[in-house]
Homo-oligomer: A and B are copies of this chain.
């Protein structure tokens, strides 16, 4: 019933944030700088976001939506594909720097952690769900025995893939190339194939823990 917030300004601010991240990195990025690049007042930024972390989460979240999982004909090939495209995404300076910095901040800020999870993490689990369903349709993986264990394994595979790629690229600092992706996929596919058929033997207690 009055003037609405400018969607164009939102877009300009997020673009400016990404551009500033590429040039300056996380630590030298300032709110005033982003405001100047976007052609808005600094106060406008603080009217919409609580601080640098929240702004960067929104600016970077959309980049993760470009990840896709084309059907490459086998589970092994699908894993290779997602590893390489995730690595390509992490190779861009604005994603790697800001993702790690936001994760660091989120260890002390519950609101930021929730925002990060629903804007980035949970949305990418679809890739694992897709790949898993596809492999089951091909007969490469057995169908779900029960929903709880299916969810558990989906989470496990997600943390495995994303964690390993991030660690290789950003912590170990070595390239995620085709050779590495092939070795990783071989290991993962073999593990899934061998570990699944019998119900996982040594898992004594597992509270349902629905999300």
Identify the A interface with B (CB < 8 A): 25-27, 76, 93, 96-101, 103-108, 113, 116-117, 121, 152-153, 155-156, 158-160, 162-168, 170-174, 178-180, 182-184, 186-195, 200-207
Contact = CB atoms under 8 A, between A and B. Distances in A.
Contacts of A121: 171-173
Contacts of A113: 173
Main secondary structure of the interface of A (DSSP, over half): helix
A2 to B, nearest CB: 36
For A158, A167, A186, which residue has the most chain B Cβ atoms within 10 angstroms?
A: A167
Nearest to A98: B104
**How many copies are assembled?**
2
Nearest to A120: B171
Given A163-B166, A179-B207, A187-B192, 18 more contacts: A96-B107, A100-B104, A107-B170, A116-B171, A121-B172, A156-B183, A156-B184, A159-B172, A162-B167, A163-B164, A179-B204, A182-B202, A186-B200, A187-B195, A189-B191, A190-B193, A190-B195, A193-B194
